[in-house]
Amino acid sequence: MIDKSAFHSLSYGMYVIGTRFEGSDFGCVANTFAQVTSSPLQVSVALNKENATTAALRAAGRFTASCLSEDASMELIGTFGFHSSTELDKFAQHASSRDASGMPYVAEACCAWFSAKVTGELDLGTHVLFIGEVEESQKVEGAASPMTYSFYHQVKGGKTPPKASSYLGDEQPVPASASAGEGGEGESAAAPKVGWRCTICGYIEYVDELPDDFECPICGVGKEMFERVEL
């Protein structure tokens, strides 16, 4: 028997994987970046084969990993986690910089970044595991603590994309809490009794009805991708 809830006890971070190929930047969110050896310093990351970033990384042979801090906004995570690099220049939407080889990395809400040259890869069926030797790394002084995947779910109210390595297929996003005003319980009682949850990223809009032209502020999908939820 496999108890899928056991996988929720595994620890992950939140990273933006970046690369550049044929004059275009590519990037996506991953929670699988990790150090695998100390001599030489090697790291690994598993990416879905369907991601545009995966093909570009394989062709470029290099990648960066930006370690997101707890200050990272859902807009930043939404940009890299719920859009395609073939349709949006993701790094142009947020503060970014480049390593010595020209690979992009996130310079916004980032507590550390790494640059690696691919030394090997392993086909995992739906994903590819890339192994890279670190050529550059830097800790960002004064940055907030690294964001864990648990923090992303429980505090940010985020959802696991279907293409993520840790997607289990049956999880529900943690609803973001409606803020109570200075009136305390009195204002809470007056809050909307229903909301609309994005089935893609988990964002909740606290209104009775969504306008026809509504778009998710996190991942950009339309009203048709929202589901009504009781609060």
pLDDT by 10s per residue, the chain, length 231: 998 888 878 889 999 999 999 999 999 999 999 999 999 999 999 999 999 999 999 999 999 999 999 999 888 988 898 888 998 899 999 999 999 999 999 999 999 999 999 999 999 999 999 999 999 999 999 999 999 988 887 887 777 766 677 766 654 443 333 332 333 333 334 555 788 988 777 778 888 899 999 988 877 788 988 888 886
Residue 165: its pLDDT value, please? 74
CB atoms near residue 75 (< 10 Å): 12
Q: Is residue 45 within 8 Å of residue 17, measured between CB atoms?
A: yes
Residue 186: its pLDDT value, please? 35
| Cα 192 from Cα 212, distance rounded (Å) | 19
Going by DSSP bridges, is the β-strand pair 104-106/62-68 parallel, antiparallel, or unpaired?
unpaired
Q: Where are the alpha helices (DSSP H) in 69-202?
A: 74-81, 149-154, 185-189
Closest C-alpha among 87, 126, 118, 100 to residue 17: 118
Residue 172: its pLDDT value, please? 44
Q: What are phi and psi of 9, to 5 degrees?
A: -85, -10
Describe the strand order of the beta sheet including 127-139 as a list of residue ranges: 24-30, 15-21, 62-68, 110-123, 127-139, 41-48, 34-38
Residue 7: its pLDDT value, please? 83
Closest C-alpha among 93, 87, 81 to residue 27: 81
Residue 60 backbone class (left: φ over 0; alpha: ψ -120 to 50; beta: rest): alpha
